[in-house]
Amino acid sequence: MAALSRSRRRPKLILGSNNESSSSSSSEDEEEELEEDPIVEQDVIEDKRDDRWNGKRGFLSEEKVGKKTSGITISLKKVCKVCKEEGHQAGFQGATYIDCPKKPCFLCKMPGHTTMSCPHRVALEHGVIPATRKNKQTPLDYVFERQVKSQVSKIKPTFVIPDKLDLVAVKFHSRRVTSLEFHSTRSNILLSGDKKGQIGIWDYSKPDEKTIYGSIHSCIVNNMKFDLRNDAMLYTASSDGTINHTDIETGISCCLMDLNPNGWNGPATWRMLYGMDTCLEKGLVLVADNFGYLYLLDSREKTQIADAILIHKKGSKVVGLHCNPSQPDLLLSCGNDHFAYMWDIRQLESGSSLVNLAHERVVNSAYFSPQTGSKILTTSQDNRIRVWDSIFGDLSQPSREIVHSHDFNRHLTPFRAEWDPKDPSESLAVIGRYISENYDGVALHPIDFIDTTTGRLVAEVIDTDLTTITPVNKLHPCDDILASGSSRSVLIWRPGSKFDGEDQQLERNKVVIYCNDGKKKHSKKIDDGSDEDDGCSSKGKNLQLKCNGKSGKTGSAKYKKTKS
């Protein structure tokens, strides 16, 4: 019977495959018939083993068998991107994140539920217990309470949130934005660095003008700090292993240190500079590299002081440095060895850290509180924001752990929770969010304002036209302004709750600037796409726009106003 079935069905299969004039419906019926008949399916498998079988074209002639080339096999099986196994898929589908069934919740890293039903996603303050007031037991605590704590407001003020998008410079940079810094004395000047090594200067009070210096660094600008002795000069640290001192008025740059004088000799010897800070009281510029070493430079002599000091695990990247604003002898560092350390600058030696703050994964940032320096705020890749309430207290465990979505895979600037420098209570922090949320059918990635004392989500800042992830955020030190870097664009946010004399909310016009030499492609979405390895764009069309990035020249920009 099997032989009769094969002889009866095989000519029908060959004929149907070669008849180009047959209808699509008849071919679909034949395919369904083949799928339902196990005998025919087994015969096809046996025929494929024959050298003469050529798929839908039937059997080859004897003279063409030797000329047949090997085919390409394409597997259409579903493979999970997380565990690399078949049968299921994990990841984003629109604004919904589907968890891998073999992994815990992507948000809180705990088993028993999915990301969409995670209690930390519904209520950010879930599980956060405010620390109790610590009793004064040592003379150091007494001095802290009398001299430092007195500067902190006992009544928490009303937070002013810049929640309305005011200015957007689409494709301000040619590659993704990696760092932002407000001018130290001129409040309307914003500086930005990108992955290509360019530095942009934007006076957002004159939004149609900008300046890009493209010859200062050859790759990622990881950090920027103003020279507090001369506000026209800027220190920059880059992954090309150099520290530059640049005049932002002329674009003339001076290299203070080059860790790769012999050029590229492979990744084992190439040094990149990440963490950087300045200490005016000590006259120092401090910078750290990707091998765990710290370098000290004299800001007046512009020369290196002593030798490099190993402050983290050898071979690990030191991504952040911060000097205490009220105690300049204290230095905070963080890195890829899952630790944040506090140091005494007067006694800097390997292994001489004052405090070791352990984390589960890589520590993206660590900052002292902006006014008193009595608190520490860290951001780790384990989706945790940690707060230590007193640097003079017990630092073996954090005072609070706040679950927040900022664990990303690659091609993004790391998320960093930063203090609001204007908040007298030293409790408000800002950070971008990785997991998207569904807002009326649109997948958006908010910028979160968090009350670190309770873990409560104060505000989530969004704009329906902004569909990209916003990992770089900087709050203005004096004005109620938030600057953000999203892919290659730079954004300015202002408070939207402004009222006139009749208590009627004022209508704000959003200014969208297209940096493209005058050629503009209209699109409702403020989505500039991403460069090849950026990955910041979650959804939307790319705008084919270009910015002038020539060193020392002012690029042209066209802009239009839209109602927010």
* Confidence at residue 167, expressed as pLDDT on a 0 to 100 scale: 93
* pLDDT > 90? residue 148: no
Mean pLDDT to the nearest integer, 4-25? 39
Residues 102 and 203 in one domain: no
| Residue with the two structure tokens 């000799």 | 265
Distance in angstroms (rounded) separating the CA atoms of residues 292 and 353: 14
Q: Do 178 and 163 touch, CB atoms closer than 8 A?
A: no
Range in 143-147, 352-356, 508-512, 560-564 with the lowest mean pLDDT: 560-564
* Residue 314 CA neighbour count, 13 Å, CB half: 5
Mean pLDDT to the nearest integer, 233-242? 96
* Confidence at residue 23, expressed as pLDDT on a 0 to 100 scale: 38
Q: What pLDDT, in 10s, does the model give residues 523-546?
A: 445 555 444 443 333 333 322 223
Task: Kindly state whether residue 556 falls inside one of the protein's structural domains.
Answer: no
Q: Which domain holds residue 305?
A: 137-498
Residues 149 and 114 in one domain: no
Task: Kindly state whether residue 224 falls inside one of the protein's structural domains.
Answer: yes
Residues 90 and 153 in one domain: no
Beta bridge partners of residue 181, listed in sequence order: 191
Helix or strand holding residue 194 (H, E): strand 189-194
| Residue with the two structure tokens 């670190």 | 452
Give me 452's structure tokens: 């670190």
Helix or strand holding residue 288 (H, E): strand 284-289
Residues 173 and 118 in one domain: no
Task: Kindly state whether residue 367 falls inside one of the protein's structural domains.
Answer: yes
Residues 117 and 142 in one domain: no
* pLDDT > 80? residue 254: yes
* Confidence at residue 145, expressed as pLDDT on a 0 to 100 scale: 66
In our burial notation (b when 16+ CB lie closer than 10 A, e otherwise), range 526-545 reads bbbbbbeebbbbbbbeebeb
Mean pLDDT to the nearest integer, 394-405? 93
Residues 282 and 399 in one domain: yes
* Confidence at residue 559, expressed as pLDDT on a 0 to 100 scale: 44
At residue 279, the 3 state secondary structure works out as strand
Range in 56-70, 262-276, 347-361 with the lowest mean pLDDT: 56-70
Q: What pLDDT, in 10s, does the model give residues 361-383?
A: 999 999 999 999 999 999 999 99
Q: What pLDDT, in 10s, does the model give residues 131-141?
A: 665 555 666 66
* Confidence at residue 335, expressed as pLDDT on a 0 to 100 scale: 96
CATH at residue 370: 2.130.10.10
Task: Kindly state whether residue 310 falls inside one of the protein's structural domains.
Answer: yes
Task: Kindly state whether residue 550 falls inside one of the protein's structural domains.
Answer: no
Residues 98 and 141 in one domain: no
Region label for 503, one of left (φ > 0), alpha (ψ between -120 and 50) or beta (otherwise): left
451 vs 102, which has greater pLDDT? 451
Residues 249 and 317 in one domain: yes
Instruction: List strands edge to edge, sheet with 447-451.
Output: 418-419, 428-432, 447-451, 456-461
Range in 102-116, 302-316, 341-355, 452-466 with the lowest mean pLDDT: 102-116
Range in 107-111, 114-118, 241-245, 548-552 with the lowest mean pLDDT: 548-552
| Beta carbons within 8 Å of 206's beta carbon, 6+ residues apart | none
Number of neighbouring beta carbons within 10 Å of residue 374: 23
Distance in angstroms (rounded) separating the CA atoms of residues 547 and 177: 14
Is pTM beyond 0.85? Reply is: no
Residues 151 and 108 in one domain: no
The last residue of a domain, from among 498, 517, 536: 498
The last residue of a domain, from among 457, 472, 498: 498
Task: Kindly state whether residue 191 falls inside one of the protein's structural domains.
Answer: yes
Closest CA to 320 of 307, 309, 306, 331: 331
Mean pLDDT to the nearest integer, 262-289? 93
Distance in angstroms (rounded) separating the CA atoms of residues 74 and 286: 53
* Confidence grade of residue 410 (pLDDT, cut at 50, 70, 90): confident
Region label for 73, one of left (φ > 0), alpha (ψ between -120 and 50) or beta (otherwise): beta
Average pLDDT, the chain: 79
Max avg pLDDT among 54-68, 383-397, 495-509: 383-397
User: Quick one: DSSP state of residue 144?
Assistant: I
Mean pLDDT to the nearest integer, 284-295? 96
Mean pLDDT to the nearest integer, 91-104? 80
Beta bridge partners of residue 303, listed in sequence order: 298
* Confidence at residue 525, expressed as pLDDT on a 0 to 100 scale: 57
* Confidence at residue 51, expressed as pLDDT on a 0 to 100 scale: 46
370 vs 153, which has greater pLDDT? 370
* Confidence at residue 158, expressed as pLDDT on a 0 to 100 scale: 87
* Confidence at residue 248, expressed as pLDDT on a 0 to 100 scale: 93
* Confidence at residue 277, expressed as pLDDT on a 0 to 100 scale: 96
* Confidence at residue 164, expressed as pLDDT on a 0 to 100 scale: 94
Task: Kindly state whether residue 59 falls inside one of the protein's structural domains.
Answer: no
Residues 222 and 95 in one domain: no
Residues 346 and 484 in one domain: yes
Mean pLDDT to the nearest integer, 347-367? 95
* pLDDT > 80? residue 27: no
| Beta carbons within 8 Å of 133's beta carbon, 6+ residues apart | none
- In this structure, which amino acid lies at residue 448? D
Ordered alpha helix ranges (H), 68-118 = none
* Confidence at residue 134, expressed as pLDDT on a 0 to 100 scale: 54
* Confidence grade of residue 9 (pLDDT, cut at 50, 70, 90): very low
Task: Kindly state whether residue 37 falls inside one of the protein's structural domains.
Answer: no
Q: What pLDDT, in 10s, does the model give residues 414-445?
A: 999 999 999 988 999 999 999 988 888 888 99
* pLDDT > 70? residue 24: no
Query: Structural domain tally of the chain?
Result: 2
User: Quick one: DSSP state of residue 216?
Assistant: S
* Confidence at residue 6, expressed as pLDDT on a 0 to 100 scale: 44
* Confidence at residue 527, expressed as pLDDT on a 0 to 100 scale: 52
Mean pLDDT to the nearest integer, 229-240? 94
Helix or strand holding residue 102 (H, E): none
Residues 101 and 234 in one domain: no
561 vs 255, which has greater pLDDT? 255
Region label for 417, one of left (φ > 0), alpha (ψ between -120 and 50) or beta (otherwise): beta
* pLDDT > 50? residue 49: no
In our burial notation (b when 16+ CB lie closer than 10 A, e otherwise), range 124-149 reads bbeebeeeeeeeeeeeebeebeeebe
The last residue of a domain, from among 498, 525, 556: 498
* Confidence at residue 80, expressed as pLDDT on a 0 to 100 scale: 83
Range in 79-93, 443-457, 484-498, 520-534 with the lowest mean pLDDT: 520-534
Number of neighbouring beta carbons within 10 Å of residue 393: 17
Q: What pLDDT, in 10s, does the model give residues 63-94?
A: 544 555 556 666 667 788 778 888 888 877 76
Q: Do 520 and 545 touch, CB atoms closer than 8 A?
A: yes
526 vs 264, which has greater pLDDT? 264
* Confidence at residue 79, expressed as pLDDT on a 0 to 100 scale: 81
